[in-house]
Amino acid sequence: MADRKTLSCGRHWFSKTLPWTLLLLFLCFDSIGAAEAFTRNVTAQLNPGSHGTTRGDLLHIRAVGGNDTLHFLFCSHGAPTLLLVHTNTSSSTVSVNWTQFESHNASGSFKVEPESSVLYSSGLVFSRLLEYDDVNNTAQVTPELFPPYDLSNISWSQISLSDMTALLCGEINNGSLCVQLSYFQAEGRGQAWPRLLHTANTSQLAMWLDGVLPRAHRSRFLLELQAVGGQQPLSQVEVERSIDDEFTPSIFKVAQWVSKDDKDVLGFVQWKPVAYRHTSPALEDATPCRHSDPERQSAVAAESSSSLIQAFYTENEATYGLNVSFGLPGDPFYNSTLYLSWTMLVGVGAPPSDSFSPLVVAIVAVGLGAPLALLLVGGIWVCLRKRATSSSTLYEPIN
């Protein structure tokens, strides 16, 4: 009887403590992994080397690693532009000839030095915002587009810096188009949907329209992006699927506009195919977005849109462009909220890849592990019970 009580108590204790033990182990492993994550020393400087007032802003984010440096340049001279330059030294710097830079026609007026240290560079230009009247609610772009908003002709605000972010806004048709750059020292995840996973090798760009008056009763928008690069430009978009929508509910895909050599990804622009119609969105405020295939474009177009592209690249580099359209057939039109936001990640190396969080893994482990543990303990108890029953039926010697 004592053995049976002990076994029953042991089984009860084991079944109760196993889930919490597994959860504790997973959380411990996660904290160890986070402690060992790669980090960079990040500094920000507005208009480096300028000694007076400029007609636009140039923000330099310098992210220094052990033996390399990432230079993120966020510029409002012309269309909003993010230039990413990766060097093989932790001592590389930027140099700007402001007189030539502000003349908008001087190639080579912006440099990353030493120039021989540059491993990879890519420029991303927000070139145009397009609008069309979706009369039949098909979300198919019609040839009768309204005249596009050329973002190089917008009057942009000064870049505002706050807590590892930089905000740039311009006025469009009584509303605003804003672009926000976020930069990072280590791996983490955005707090707002779509909660993209970032690393120290990335920065994040969020774009939103707020209060822009539509030119039709059923308006939808497209954003035109141009990518300028060297020998390996951003030339193809890959779409990956996932079974996990933990961080971006209802979204199981991620799009990656990549630059590749023979086998490796050198740089990328990554986004989830979703936009949001409210500043603090609920699930029903999500609207899918689609992208066109990247097409080769004239380098002159990007150079004329962005002073930074013209200043950094001394030759006609390969240029590709694509459009991101917002909304599917049946989705509410932009007119319903007069707000639209979309977020993407820009970086070097392989893009971050989502995986199940430790909490989800722990829950799955508990859900599967606890029943298996109970079966195991129950099987052992049945075997021991049978042995005890068999032993009690044998004749005992008579003294």
State the pTM of this model.
Answer: 0.83
Q: Is the pLDDT of residue 399 over 60?
A: no
Q: How confident is the model at residue 390 (pLDDT cuts 50, 70, 90)?
A: low
Taking residues 325-337, what's their average pLDDT? 97
Residue 289 tokens read as 């977005």
Q: What is the pLDDT of residues 64-78, one digit of tens each?
A: 999 999 999 999 999
The arithmetic mean of pLDDT across residues 192-218, rounded, is: 97
CB 232 within 8 A of CB 325: no
Question: Within 13 Å, how many C-alpha atoms sit on residue 41's CB side?
Answer: 7
Tokens representing 140? Answer: 């198919």
Q: What pLDDT is stored for residue 315 in this prediction?
A: 86
Cα(32)–Cα(37) distance, integer angstroms: 9
Q: Does the structure show a pLDDT above 90 at 159?
A: yes
SS3 content of the chain, % helix, strand, coil (to 5): 25, 40, 35
Residue 336, exposed/middle/buried by CB under 10 A (0-12, 13-18, 19+)? exposed
